Chain A
């Protein structure tokens, strides 16, 4: 699991992914973790547990809200939902992330230098 090339996510990356995922549909913690892992094709090394501090941060900033409900497998779970502020935040974060990515890509692109 751990290898030399593993790299930490930059701060805020996990939150961004959580918000993006919740934008599609409200999910509980476990489902959220499985979804992110599946979509990212295990390219990102994310410990499932690290989701929870991130979720707490989002809760505190009121970017998501949580409600106890029942999952598809009939468990009592806490389901997270994007708030309006969360949607706005996501939009801002994504566009700023894309600009950053573009910048980095340009610098890294061969032939331009």
Chain B
């Protein structure tokens, strides 16, 4: 019989046993009566001969039972009973554990989904980002993107590599869709051949874009994203083969990518082929993200070596035009730094998440310390009960096990509640959607989260259950059976464990509060930085693109933009309007080029430093609240007259000519064919890449410039962001009027990225505010738990010392003195905790240096303020029980005996 069927048939076994024994006794009695005994005597004799019936029944039953398990179940039954007999204790302990576990499970869910789970591509571990840096190229290395790939690099790498299965480049963009409903601006991704092959995600419908679709000026074909397919075509199965009007040109739809497919972390609507014209490529044009799939045997090091080998091939195979030296790029010291695609996606969020995970872990420790304290208090109350159990024959191992089972049950129940809370918390977090968090859409609970929560529950139960259990595993003196345990004054030894826990809690809470404090200081510092624009709340942005298929003539484009500004300014409540090729912090890929200053000598074989350049309209500076430091703005007539004028940022002016005013009248250009442009104004520095990043040097060109390459006299900036200064930003009616104004100029123009500058700004500091919120929550929890801890221990001590306090009062102690005594105790614990916390904090906050701005990790103000806060909170937490102590009536306290 297996133990399981035994378990099921046990009632029958027991019944049969009883019947058998009864039969045995009956038979015996019968026999004895037959031999002449009286019935009574015979019964007596039969029982005597048989022995202790219940003992034998139990022994017989024991044969069938599985002792360890039976004991375990009885421990659980017993534990449940004790827990349900102390509802207040149970609820408080359970809530503490549940909240702690919920916080940990929620943060772990994020860590797991963002950092630990592989990307959603087949064999994602083989995918790498072709990251490279160019330390020799000034102006480039400040930014995380490093040196992107140029099309010629892509061809070289794709054709000469030995380490990749496939390789491709991509670039995000926008396009206007017409002919469906309202004109709409959509997000596009241009891909080269090899990119979709590298991702290896099969299409949901139709086929991939192939090499045959990459022919320049060939038939134009596109793929749709799953979302766009459903939004615009209702998920129709017959969409393949239909045409989509993109930038006023028909494109044939050849396929649809499956749900959830992203280019690294970019959402998109349409994929179009880049279709590079190989014959016209030059060395430069570093604007494309490269992604490759490694051969199974190849490592990252192999890939780096492979690319380093191919760089000279690239310089030998292409040129920047006649008369240029292709090996000039040697001075850039281009170095491949291939890295796993996952790292590219996660970026620097990893460090942030681990800091949050660490702080939440500390909160769990504090919660455990609190529950340990609760258990310690309760076990002292239960001393008598435990002593009785021991006296009745329960071994100390059995008692310790019983106590541990009880705490594990608490832990598991807390874990169950906690996972529910965590689920809600994660939903909330995703809804709040810190946009700086990559893979936000992938965040979900999975088996690993459940396993983590289970392990955490068990581990923490052992952590808070072990101390009280072991404390009572010592041999029993028997004194507990007598009642003196209840009324004795507090002994030093008995409180040591609890005091240690309090000190630990205070120290950990202090560290968390300091981290949160440092983040608050960082946030403050960020807010005092002048980002280069003013009052972002009242700066409305819309992005408008005028494709050449809609308006061919460049000057006409600029005139339309000019007209739009005029219409916008005419809206009631609008103070001014202007446009720029991209607003600061908007996060569009920036334009960089070498900028030469007139009269400056550049050494042979070097290239002038790379500078950011933008196009700007008259009136923009005033609208954005960006200060003009010297000179003046351009005028519309200068723009239409193609006058060679330019403006520069303050730091560029200082670097090239010493002072802003010295820059006025000086001249600069991008490349030799370009006429020298005269600097007519100097603009304050703008934090283009976010408040925490230093302001780059910038050159501002007119939006309409002489065309030096293609046909036609001029070249216009076709995609720009309009900025509108108004007190009515964000309201529905205002946005409708903005739409109306734009469409009164040209009804085919879609408005994209409609938002206020405030949204853009908030997004750029989202990482900091996310950290602040998370640390703030953790610190608040730590502080609350710390208060509960101090309060609990002090009030318990006071209740234990009631008799002693009564005696003191009876002997004439002042009530104030008694209060001071109690306060002193809480204070002492807090002070020791604060001291340890400061020491630990000085070491630990260094880990978050990268998250800080404008404040050091050892900021004395933060440490001082937080210490004062913790100490005053501790005093407050012990004041209430202390006050109660002074109200003790000596007579009552003494009569307690």
Whether chains A and B associate is yes
Beta-carbon contacts under 8 Å, A38-78 to B: 47-50, 52-53, 55-57, 59-60, 71, 73, 75-78
| B49 A48 Cβ-Cβ under 8 A | yes
Distance in Å: Cβ of A84 to nearest Cβ of chain B? 17
| A49 B50 Cβ-Cβ under 8 A | yes
In the complex, whether A30 has a CB less than 8 A from a CB of chain B is yes
| B17 A52 Cβ-Cβ under 8 A | yes
CA distance A1 to B47 in the complex (A): 13
**Which residue of chain A has the shortest Cβ distance to B59 in the bound complex?**
A53
A26 neighbours in B (Cβ, 8 Å): none
| B24 A50 Cβ-Cβ under 8 A | no
In the complex, whether B667 has a CB less than 8 A from a CB of chain A is no
In the complex, whether A18 has a CB less than 8 A from a CB of chain B is no
| B20 A49 Cβ-Cβ under 8 A | no
In the complex, whether B891 has a CB less than 8 A from a CB of chain A is no
Beta-carbon contacts under 8 Å, B4-30 to A: 16-17, 20-21, 23-24, 26-28, 30
| A49 B52 Cβ-Cβ under 8 A | yes
A77 neighbours in B (Cβ, 8 Å): 20, 23
CA distance A78 to B19 in the complex (A): 9
User: Taking A30-B23, A75-B27 as contacts, is the C-beta distance between A56 and B60 under 8 angstroms?
Assistant: yes
B16 neighbours in A (Cβ, 8 Å): 78
| A29 B56 Cβ-Cβ under 8 A | no
CA distance A52 to B30 in the complex (A): 20
Distance in Å: Cβ of A82 to nearest Cβ of chain B? 18
User: Taking A56-B17, A60-B63, A60-B64 as contacts, is the C-beta distance between A49 and B23 under 8 angstroms?
Assistant: no
CA distance A52 to B27 in the complex (A): 16
| A29 B24 Cβ-Cβ under 8 A | yes
In the complex, whether A19 has a CB less than 8 A from a CB of chain B is no
In the complex, whether A16 has a CB less than 8 A from a CB of chain B is no
B50 neighbours in A (Cβ, 8 Å): 47-49
In the complex, whether B53 has a CB less than 8 A from a CB of chain A is yes
CA distance A71 to B23 in the complex (A): 11
**Which residue of chain B has the shortest Cβ distance to A62 in the bound complex?**
B1
A57 neighbours in B (Cβ, 8 Å): 63
In the complex, whether A33 has a CB less than 8 A from a CB of chain B is yes
Distance in Å: Cβ of A15 to nearest Cβ of chain B? 12
| A1 B27 Cβ-Cβ under 8 A | no
A55 neighbours in B (Cβ, 8 Å): 60
Interface size on B, residues (CB 8 A): 25
B48 CB contact (under 8 Å) in A1, A29, A73, A76: A1
| A30 B49 Cβ-Cβ under 8 A | no
CA distance A78 to B48 in the complex (A): 22
| B64 A47 Cβ-Cβ under 8 A | no
**CB-based A-B contact count at 8 angstroms:** 63
Distance in Å: Cβ of A7 to nearest Cβ of chain B? 16
Distance in Å: Cβ of A46 to nearest Cβ of chain B? 9
Distance in Å: Cβ of A88 to nearest Cβ of chain B? 20
A30 neighbours in B (Cβ, 8 Å): 23-24, 27-28
| B20 A52 Cβ-Cβ under 8 A | yes
**Which residue of chain A has the shortest Cβ distance to B21 in the bound complex?**
A52
B59 neighbours in A (Cβ, 8 Å): 52-53
A28 neighbours in B (Cβ, 8 Å): 23
A33 neighbours in B (Cβ, 8 Å): 24
| A49 B56 Cβ-Cβ under 8 A | yes
- With most chain A CB atoms within 10 A of its CB, the pick from B16, B26, B59 is B59
In the complex, whether B218 has a CB less than 8 A from a CB of chain A is no
Beta-carbon contacts under 8 Å, B62-84 to A: 62-64
- Chain B 239-281, CB within 8 Å of chain A: the 1/0 string? 0000000000000000000000000000000000000000000
| A47 B23 Cβ-Cβ under 8 A | no
CA distance A47 to B51 in the complex (A): 6
| B49 A56 Cβ-Cβ under 8 A | no
| A76 B60 Cβ-Cβ under 8 A | no
A1 neighbours in B (Cβ, 8 Å): 48
Distance in Å: Cβ of A3 to nearest Cβ of chain B? 15
**Which residue of chain A has the shortest Cβ distance to B48 in the bound complex?**
A1
| A49 B63 Cβ-Cβ under 8 A | no
CA distance A47 to B48 in the complex (A): 8
User: Taking A50-B56, A53-B63 as contacts, is the C-beta distance between A76 and B23 under 8 angstroms?
Assistant: yes
B17 neighbours in A (Cβ, 8 Å): 52, 56
CA distance A48 to B51 in the complex (A): 7
Known: A28-B23, A48-B28, A75-B23. 20 other contacts (CB 8 A): A30-B23, A47-B50, A48-B24, A48-B49, A49-B50, A49-B51, A49-B52, A52-B20, A52-B56, A52-B57, A52-B60, A53-B62, A56-B60, A56-B63, A56-B64, A60-B1, A73-B27, A76-B23, A77-B20, A78-B20
Q: Interface residues, chain A, CB within 8 Å of chain B?
A: 1, 28-30, 33, 47-50, 52-53, 55-57, 59-60, 71, 73, 75-78
Q: Interface residues, chain B, CB within 8 Å of chain A?
A: 1, 16-17, 20-21, 23-24, 26-28, 30, 48-53, 55-57, 59-60, 62-64
18 A-B pairs within 8 Å (CB atoms) are namely: A28-B23, A29-B21, A29-B23, A30-B28, A47-B49, A47-B50, A48-B28, A49-B21, A49-B50, A49-B51, A49-B52, A49-B55, A53-B59, A59-B63, A60-B64, A73-B27, A73-B30, A75-B26
- Counting from the closest, the 7 A-B pairs by CB-CB distance are A47-B51, A53-B59, A49-B56, A49-B51, A56-B63, A49-B50, A56-B60
